[in-house]
Chains A and B, each alone.
Chain A
């Protein structure tokens, strides 16, 4: 089956700096890569996703890049704010039914 690895497990940045979280996947058939944000005590929520026919996608301060050849994708957050502090999960799917999640990255944005 698919194996998704996520790094780093924790990330601390100063407010206003950029944050980058990286994921690798093993199944070349995976074609959908969502990112979820889970604030403390709350449920995970989708923040951005990308499909395999696209190399990059942006939504305001967040962006995701995908390198199919290398089988890795990354989440980029620019101009970080304290409210960006949360746990972020990447995921991969090859049939939109089963999703394989990374182990999560705890992002701490220091004011």
Chain B
């Protein structure tokens, strides 16, 4: 299971607070992704990054922000502008060429009250 880690596993925040979810990989993968998983809705793409210092919005980027200052790290900030932030967040990484398999982290369950 190693290679891509997310912390913490569970996170609780009060409404109105920003919170940052960590994602680290030691697989030397170029691309990294953030997904949100809600019951019955599959995985929806929030942001993705193909290279350091570059990232693109996914389908549900509003209320989220990311950075990619290092190849190994792709943190996600859930801002107070995200209207429904309670969800399970999955980070993934993949090699840019050859195999396109996405390796997922264990996920962070965020609860905002």
Q: Which residues of A contact B (CB under 8 A)?
A: 1, 4, 6, 9, 32, 34, 36, 42-46, 49, 89, 91, 93, 96-104
Contacts and interface: CB of A to CB of B under 8 A. Distances in A.
Interface stretch (B18-26, B38-46, B61-69, B75-83): B38-46
A100 B44 CA distance: 7
Contacts, number: 52
Interface residues of B, number: 23
A101 B44 contact: yes
Nearest to A32: B100
Main SS of the interface on chain B? loop
B45 A96 contact: no
Interface of B: 1, 31, 33, 35, 40-45, 48, 50, 58-59, 90, 96, 100-102, 104-107
A9 B101 contact: no
